[in-house]
Chains A and B, each alone.
Chain A
Amino acid sequence: MDHILVAKDVSKSYGDHQALRNISLEIPENCIYGLLGPNGAGKTTFIRIINQITYQDSGKVLFNGKSLAPEHIALIGYLPEERGLYKSMKVGDQALYLAQLKGLSKSEAKKRLKYWFDRLDIGDWWGKKIQELSKGMAQKIQFIVTILHEPKLLIFDEPFSGFDPINANIIKDEILQLKEKGTSIIFSTHRMESVEELCEYIALIHNSEKILDGKLSDIKKSYKNNIFNVGLQVDRDAQLFLDDLKTQFQILSSQFYQQECQLDFKVQLPSGNTTEILTQLSKQANINRFEETIPTANDIFIQTVNKRDNGR
């Protein structure tokens, strides 16, 4: 598989503070790659290195197999977390200016801007000043400016912040369409539900180090611990029934709802083999729920970070 971006042992420090320590990442082409981590972990520093805003102290960054160089700037689109526009400049002039700075010709930039303004239904904003627009409106313009030069690699730092749910959805759909067209996307966020929804790959950065990376589905698989949620209709003495089960299986927690005769419990099956317990249960009770618990990205995030912190 081809990689749009490869980082090898990238380190960076600001004075005494080490912002990145030996980060190695491989970002495959044409995927959405989630860059996760708590605040201050070093995500922004890493992104700034990709954008050549700062430079690594040691290590290498390869873009499309070649060492990162100034000509790559036109192939990268970056929507920073701290973003804004000139307040007293007109929307159209501003978008044109930023597009031209990315290397588009004026006429081409104008054509594409018109297309995007129509597409996002904001055509009548062209002559307005930013200070007359709401924050969400300005974010839309910012999004357009980021993607206008059709970069091969897009980097979004918290792209949905400042959007209402409807507009957030519009932007999400646009991001997915860009991916369909072949763009590779790095996605830095704390919003785990959007990670779940969008990202195929993730990397978790914590305290300047990468502590986890890979395909999200693989990571989830490796994080599942064969715990099953079980729900039963029991018409006998539930406590007795449970005690009986406990002698054979590893029951983690349980709850009995007297009125509905409903017994819920969590069970860990070390081998992952469900045949035995299902056979036994089906003989004695009515099973209305039996499911494997799959850890969410959020769970993995918290679990990994905590494990790391406690391990120190």
Chain B
Amino acid sequence: MAGKLGLIIKREYLAKVRNKSFIVMTILSPILIVGMIVLIAYLTKVNDSEKRVVAVLNESGFLHREFSTSEHTSFIQFEDISLDKAKDSTSSMGLYGLLHIPDGKGLEQVAKTAYLYTKDNPNTQITQQLERVFQRKLRQNRLGDLGVSSEQFSDIEKPFELNLATFEGEKSVKGITEIKAFIGGGFGYAIMMFIIIYGTFVMRSVIEEKTSRIIEVIISSVKPFQLMLGKIIGTSLAGVTQFVIWLISASLLLFVVLLISGIDISAVMAELQNTPGAMGGMSELANTLDEDTLLYAREIVNIPWLLLISSFLLYFVLGYFIYSSIYAAIGAAVDNETDTQQFVFPVILPLMLAIYVGFFSVFSNPHGPIAVGFSLFPLTSPIVMLMRLPAGIGEGGVPLWQLLLSILLLIGSFLAIVFLAAKIYRVGILMYGKRPTYKELVKWLRY
């Protein structure tokens, strides 16, 4: 019996892997993704690289030397010409705009009568930049009226950042909760994508066997459950193969990019080897990395990777089996792919919900009631629990009972759903004709 399951797995795997569209997708996807990233980066750069030149006609006694060239803007000073002439030259020189600061009594007066002339509505970046200059000068001026010296003023202007630490006294850094949830979210997202893509493959493969009418020949040799199981395992192995190929090619690509860009890889490797947990080695590294980066690195190293990856595998396997057996049952219930939509939507719904609820509520509060609820509910827990887990287990992280309950519920519903799906599958594969209703599906469970 086990031999037959092996045969089915092998066939399903080879049928998937030898498929032309699978090969094309495997090769093309990384190229497409890398290409997209490069394209987006390039387009953004092109978009931002435009430098705007603003002419300044300053007739007042204030605000000289205040307009300094920034990344996106530079300034030209006009002197001793009339406003109309300045406007003409601005447009004839093709400059972005003209800032006119007329003469007046005192800074307040001057600022009030200043104008920026542009062809169309001005870019907010520029107006904000100019406004900041005026604001700062005005504030300094007003404080100066109250007797604050300019040295004192620069002290006042110094920005402030709150120091963060955990109860254990470790210094913590901002945004680490988000980063952790993001890492967990990445795992959750991977699970969702894998389920949707490979679940659909399982469904298609079932429909193919139905429409080609080979199904009855096969189930006169093997049990329908064996066939379903073999199909799910074979298809997922094909999926894993694809992921491994992508992972390897991505690392190779990274290696090549690093090589080309001239970064000393051996030095990087040495640094990476020193980093994990080795607080003693931090002082050497401190030369190359600033303190914050170090803190982030430590936090990321401190994420319970072993726990995260082992629970990823567990949640992945269970979640994938639950969903793909539902997909198999759907494939068995219908005759062609167009009929699947009404059944597929309710299946994708909890997955989408898990991702969105996860990203919104887990990001803001990893251990709030919504996050806890969704990380226990079996259809969403593979995704939501993984978002919570980077915080670790126990104090400050996921309580152990929640993790265990979540896994227990998942295993329980895994058994129940696979059992029910197998029943629908067993009846459905021999049914041809009209698309069944939900009521009929429930009836099939009793056959």
Q: Which residues of A contact B (CB under 8 A)?
A: 14-15, 48, 51-53, 70, 73, 76, 78-80, 82-89, 97-98, 100-102, 142, 145
Contacts and interface: CB of A to CB of B under 8 A. Distances in A.
Given A97-B7, A101-B4, A85 B214 contact: yes
Interface of B: 1, 4, 7-8, 11, 15, 19, 208-209, 212-214, 216-222, 224, 430, 432, 443, 446-447
Contacts of A98: 217-218, 221
Given A15-B443, A15-B447, A53-B430, A101 B212 contact: no
B447 A14 contact: yes
Given A15-B447, A82-B432, A142 B7 contact: no
B210 to A, nearest CB: 9
Contacts of A88: 15, 19
A187 B164 CA distance: 83
Contacts of B7: 97, 100-101
A145 B221 CA distance: 12
Contact of B213 (A51, A52, A76, A82): A82
Contacts of A78: 216-217, 220
A142 B220 contact: no
Contacts of A80: 213, 216-217, 220
Select the residue from B219, B221, B222, B224 with max chain A CB neighbours within 10 A: B221
Contact of A73 (B11, B212, B214, B221): B221
Q: Which 9 A-B pairs have the closest CB atoms?
A: A84-B213, A101-B221, A80-B216, A84-B212, A78-B220, A51-B220, A82-B213, A84-B214, A102-B221
A15 B212 CA distance: 27
B212 A53 contact: no
B391 to A, nearest CB: 48
Q: Which of B19, B216, B224 has most A Cβ within 10 Å? A: B216
A82 B447 contact: no
B11 A53 contact: no
Nearest to B431: A14
A86 B213 CA distance: 9
A12 to B, nearest CB: 10
Of listed A51, A80, A102, residue having the most chain B CB within 10 A: A80
Contacts of B4: 101
Contacts of B8: 101
A106 to B, nearest CB: 10
A80 B212 CA distance: 13
Contacts of A97: 7, 11
B220 A86 contact: no
A197 B342 CA distance: 50
A42 to B, nearest CB: 14
Given A84-B212, A86-B15, A53 B220 contact: yes
A86 B221 contact: no
A85 B8 CA distance: 15
A78 B217 CA distance: 7
Contacts of B212: 84-87
Contacts of A83: 213-214, 216-217
A47 to B, nearest CB: 9
A101 B226 CA distance: 11
B216 A82 contact: yes
Given A15-B443, A84-B212, A89 B15 contact: yes
Given A73-B220, A97-B11, A101-B7, A86 B443 contact: no
Nearest to B224: A53
Contacts of A84: 212-214, 217
Given A15-B447, A87-B212, A101-B4, 20 more contacts: A15-B446, A53-B216, A53-B224, A73-B221, A78-B220, A80-B213, A80-B220, A82-B213, A83-B213, A83-B217, A85-B214, A85-B217, A86-B208, A86-B212, A89-B15, A98-B217, A98-B221, A100-B7, A101-B221, A102-B221
